[in-house]
Amino acid sequence: MGGLGLKGIIFAAFTLVVAGSAAQACPDYSLQAGESYRAGGGQLRSPSFFNVVAGGDNYIWNCPSIKPGTDQGAGYFTSAPDFRFFFEGMAGLQLVLSVDSQCDSALLINTASGNWYYDDDDNGNYDPRIVLTRPADGQIDIWIGTYDGQYCDATLRMETFSR
CB 162 within 8 A of CB 42: no
pLDDT tens-digit map of 47-88? 999 999 999 999 999 998 888 876 678 899 999 999 999 999
Reading the chain (163 residues) residue by residue, the pLDDT tens digits are: 445 454 444 444 443 444 444 445 899 999 999 999 999 999 999 999 999 999 999 999 999 888 887 667 889 999 999 999 999 999 999 999 999 999 999 999 999 999 999 999 888 889 999 999 999 999 999 999 999 999 999 999 999 999 9
Q: How many residues in total does the chain contain?
A: 163
Alpha-carbon torsion angle 138, 75, 95, 67, nearest 10: -60
Domains and CATH numbers, the chain: 5-162 (2.60.120.380)
d(CA 24, CA 32): 15
Taking the C-alpha atoms of residue 130 and residue 119, their distance in angstroms, rounded to an integer, is 7
Q: How far is it, in rounded angstroms, from Cα 105 to Cα 80?
A: 17
